[in-house]
Amino acid sequence: MTVDILLIIFVGVTAISFLVQAVFIWRTMKSAKSLVDSVSKSTADIEGDVRQVVGQLQEVTIGLEHVRRSFEEIGDRAVVVNEMFDARAKDVDHLMQKLVDVGTRQADRIDEVVADTVSKFEQTTGMIQSDILRPVVEIASLIRGLKTGVDYLFSRRQSRVDDGEYNDDDMFI
């Protein structure tokens, strides 16, 4: 074999290789094109879905914005109500302290009045007993004694000494 034939065989093998390679490149390109079309279609579908989701998220965001504003208003009102309750609680505490102070002073005054009244009552009772009742009792005893004596003198009763029973009037000395 000569070099010319060898060269033709190598050129023929190379040409067949180029031809096979061209077929494979053409099939790869066709597969790549179909893959690109498929990816493009999927991308378009995904893009549509994403736009729909983004639109829904925007609607939700708008709705949540109203909710956020409502919660802010509620929070602001809660702060105002809390401050109002704190102020009222301080007012009630102050009022209760005043009422306790007034009640304590009134209780002290009532205690003084009761103590003074009891003292005056005891003094009056003592004075009545010493200045009025004692002389009245003495006078009543004297009158009773005189009456018993007069009854004894003017009565014609017999003495009950024999029976062992004594009358209170008979016992008076």
pLDDT digits (tens, 9 = 90+) for 102-118: 999 999 999 899 999 99
Q: 50: number of CA atoms within 13 Å, CB side?
A: 6
Q: Whole-angstrom Cα distance, residue 21 to residue 28?
A: 10
Check: CB of residue 122 under 8 Å from CB of residue 140. Answer: no
Cβ 149 vs Cβ 170: under 8 Å:
no
Per residue in 30-84, pLDDT (tens digit) is 999 999 999 999 999 999 999 999 999 888 888 888 888 888 999 999 999 999 9
pLDDT in tens, 86-102: 999 999 999 999 999 99
